[in-house]
Amino acid sequence: MSLLSQVEPPHRTIARLEPVVGPKRYRQLVDTTASFRQRLGHRTIWNINSTAVGGGVAEMLQALIGYTKGESIATNWTVISGDAPFFAITKRIHNQVHGAPGDGPLTSADARHYARILAANTAELIRQVKPDDIVMLHDPQTAGLITPLVELGARVVWRCHIGVDWSNEATEAAWRFLRPHLGRAHRIVFSRRQYVPEWVPQPLARIVPPSIDPFSPKNQELDEQTVRGILATIGVIDAPVPEKAGQFTRYDGTIDTVNRRAEVLCDSLPCWDDPVVVQVSRWDRLKDMDGVMQAFADHVAPSGDGHLMLVGPSVSDVADDPEGAEVYHECVAQWRGLAPAIRRRIVLVTLPLNDIEENAAMVNALQRHASIISQKSIAEGFGLTVSEGMWKGRPVVGSAVGGILDQVADGTGVLLPDPLDLEAFGTAVRRLLDNPAKTRRLGQAAHAHIREHFVGDTHLLRYATLFDELISEAAGTAQG
């Protein structure tokens, strides 16, 4: 059985973006696409990561690769495999890059296991990648593929979607583990300038912030009736399931209906009209779902209306996130320990991932239904959920960490300087719940800000520039 699997996002045309980004930006995208297609010639662009579903990277690849394929730019998305110890190691690296020691140090035995799993994937990859191709490797799970692919003759970019803008023992340990694998990369891409470790040679570092796609099932427009239908179907509001439930448009343009139910832990469900605070995150300690719950219980629920929904993926389904189940069950235990009057205001939701587009439509409906989006992360590489919520015209109350800082501009939400200050978080949420007019104003500004800065056309243009550089360099090397 092959270790590699291919993901085939449906093709999409960039023309769809014109009404969103306006004629000037659209023209630039069309022109760049045409000239880049020519420059790329016979080469293929490979994207390699370790999961087809769950998390921000998979979400972005679905959209961006759909557009490049739709524009006849040869692009491929390959997912590597690993065993449970491999993903436990890479999760530890992930935690340590974010400054958290996680469940212990990385050992030389870990390094050997990491290298062994990636060597097995490499054996298959080098039969498929051509010497001239461009390879974009995503995140620590793939860093061990850099050297063999460079030796094959490919131009190799390593894109790190995570990071913090400070260092401690844990971050240094993570980089010590990864550094031997990174030395041959032709470029190293980070989401923020502040994440570039000082030992990365400046000429190799590039900054490419993530983006959202306005037409994906996650972000497409849904009318109120559809939102209501989806929420009733998945079982998160107290409302009858309508005859014709919530419909959404798939990446391939077909219309489908949300049919599956979420797993919902609650004492009672909010009604349609109850204001709801929503945080959508993987069950990851750095997302601080338990902190959100405690802050809501102590500083929001006792002093007014509103419900909290903590929403994450089904814990059995995210292959490269072994801590998910543990973190979720900790949240469940914490929820059970709350006073009954508070507990009935808090709902824990896990969404099925069997159909990733249906899952996205569920997230979409939840974010659109929210009065306020919470993203109280302790560290955050970027935090696509922030842009997603803002795109839906919702203000974010979030920690002033990592990529959240780049997204929540003045007048679009509330940034809290100390991610661990539960009272400050709760007070900010309470104030917004008590002031719907302000909440609406912030939400409108939030949408405009995301349209300006974080829609996929900008992302595609940055990739075109990066790949252009690599093609020019390869041509230079060949001539020299």
Binding-site ranges for ligand UDP (CB under 6 A): 55-56, 59, 218, 280, 282, 312-313, 351, 359-360, 363, 381-385, 388
Q: Which is nearer to ligand UDP, 31 or 326 (CB)?
A: 326
List Cβ neighbours of 175 (8 Å cut-off, separation of 6 or more).
97, 197, 199
**CA–CA separation, 369 vs 259, rounded Å?**
18
Shortest Cβ 439–ligand UDP spacing (Å): 21
- Least distance from ligand UDP to the Cβ atom of residue 326, Å: 16
User: d(Cα 480, Cα 473) in Å, to the nearest integer?
Assistant: 10
Angle among Cα 318, 322, 328 to the nearest 5 degrees reads 80
Residue closer to ligand UDP, measured from CB, 214 or 313: 313
Handedness of CA 32, 33, 39, 40 (dihedral sign): positive
> Residue type at 144?
G
CA dihedral over 20, 22, 23, 29, signed as positive or negative: negative
Query: Which lies closer to ligand UDP via its Cβ, residue 110 or residue 321?
Result: 321
Residues 6+ apart with CB under 8 A from 52: 5, 7, 58, 77, 79, 356
Minimum Å gap between C-beta 221 and ligand UDP is 16
Give the strand order in the sheet containing 346-351: 263-265, 346-351, 307-313, 276-280, 372-375, 396-399, 413-416
Q: 469 is written with which tokens?
A: 């550089």
User: Least distance in Å: CB of 355 to ligand UDP?
Assistant: 11
Helix (H, G, I), strand (E, B) or coil at 405: helix
Which of residues 351 and 422 has its CB atom nearest to ligand UDP in the complex? 351
Residue nearer to ligand UDP on the CB measure, 33 or 385: 385
**Measured from the CB of residue 29, what is the shortest distance to ligand UDP in angstroms?**
22
Residue whose beta carbon is closest to ligand UDP: 56
Nearest of 348, 12, 328, 358 to residue 218 by alpha carbon? 358
Nearer to ligand UDP by Cβ, of 32 and 374: the residue is 374
Q: Helix or strand or coil: residue 284?
A: coil
Q: What are phi and psi of 96, to 5 degrees?
A: -70, -35
Distance of CA 153 to the CA centre of its chain: 31
Closest distance to ligand UDP from the beta carbon of 12 (Å): 17
Helix axes 108-125, 169-182, angle to 10 degrees: 40
Nearer to ligand UDP, 282 or 459 (CB): 282
Name which of 148 and 217 has its Cβ closer to ligand UDP: 217
CB of 382 to ligand UDP, least distance (A): 5
CB nearer to ligand UDP: give 97 or 464: 97
Give me the least distance between CB of 169 and ligand UDP, in Å please: 22
At its nearest, how many Å lie between ligand UDP and the CB of residue 132?
Answer: 31
